[in-house]
Amino acid sequence: MIKILIADDHSLVRYGLKLALSRHFTECHIDESWDGASVMQQLKSIAYDLVLLDLNMPETDSTVLIRWIRDFHPDTRILIVSMNNESVFGKRSLQLGVHGYLEKDSPPVELVKAVDVILSGKKYLSANLSDILINDTLKGKTANPFDELTPREFQVAMYMVQGHSVTQISEMLQVQYTSVNTFKRRIFEKLNVDDSKGLIQLADAYNLG
């Protein structure tokens, strides 16, 4: 029997995903989680074949959670189901070791296809994300400046775009204030912006706001 964990902080989203999967996979056990802590708790009790994971859940650092799953439950596959722009967050997620990325407005048939592909041992990429990755490879360099950031720099940049201060970011990431300031300086240098306002405007231009 296939064991799937759906992790999303919106109950209606979990209900919809569960309904779509139950209709296709008759031999399927599906559980639900709503934040990072509940995901970890579930995984300590059950060996899931697949986790459907939202990137934006309360009190949850999705980067840390993905790495935790990959480190401690390497046989569990991960499908990100998110509203975030796949051209940036899809590539970032794949770099972290997830097995697929699906935008939440995708039709149910695409969800089933993604799960089928991942459970067969392969990685799922939408046609759009596949084209983006191929074009980046052919050109030798991405056209998106945010791709130049390291995973931690990108994480800090997204928190800044959301309006969090350096102090707040250091507390959320549990790193020193001076370290966050260093990340901030590098972000501004790599993206060629002068301040947080410029960062927010650039993020908006790439649909990251």
Same domain, 82 and 116: yes
pLDDT reported for residue 205: 75
pLDDT reported for residue 126: 87
Same domain, 121 and 194: no
- Whole-number Cα distances in Å, 21 to 12, 40, 66, 78, 105: 14, 22, 22, 15, 16
Same domain, 129 and 167: no
What SS3 class is residue 16? helix
The string over 62-97, giving b where at least 16 C-beta atoms fall within 10 Å of a residue's C-beta and e elsewhere, is bbebbeebeeebeebbbbbbbebebbbbbbbbbebe
Same domain, 17 and 99: yes
Please give the share of the chain, as a percent, with pLDDT higher than 70: 96
Quick: pLDDT tens for 123-147.
999 888 888 777 776 666 666 788 8
Which residue, of 94, 111, 137, is where some domain finishes? 137
pLDDT reported for residue 141: 61
Q: How many domains does the chain have?
A: 2
Same domain, 111 and 192: no
Q: Distance (Å, rounded) from C-alpha 162 to C-alpha 101?
A: 22
pLDDT reported for residue 142: 62
Which residue, of 98, 116, 137, is where some domain finishes? 137
Quick: pLDDT tens for 59-90.
888 988 999 999 999 999 999 999 987 878 88
Label each residue of 87-145 as H, E or C: HHHHHHHHHHCCCEEEECCCCHHHHHHHHHHHHCCCCECCHHHHHHHHHHHHHCCCCCH
DSSP assignment of 28-69: EEEEEE-SHHHHHHHHHH---SEEEE-S--TT--HHHHHHHH
What's the domain range around 178?
A: 145-205
What's the mean pLDDT when you consider all of the chain? Answer: 90
Same domain, 24 and 114: yes
Q: Is there a contact between 125 and 100 (Cβ–Cβ < 8 Å)?
A: yes
Q: Which residues contact 101 (CB under 8 A, 6 or more apart)?
A: 79, 80, 82, 86, 89, 90, 93, 94, 124, 125, 126, 129
At residue 26 the predicted structure's pLDDT band, cuts being 50, 70 and 90, is confident
Flag whether pLDDT at 166 surpasses 80. yes
Same domain, 35 and 104: yes
Flag whether pLDDT at 207 surpasses 90. no
Flag whether pLDDT at 203 surpasses 90. no
Same domain, 104 and 160: no
Same domain, 79 and 112: yes
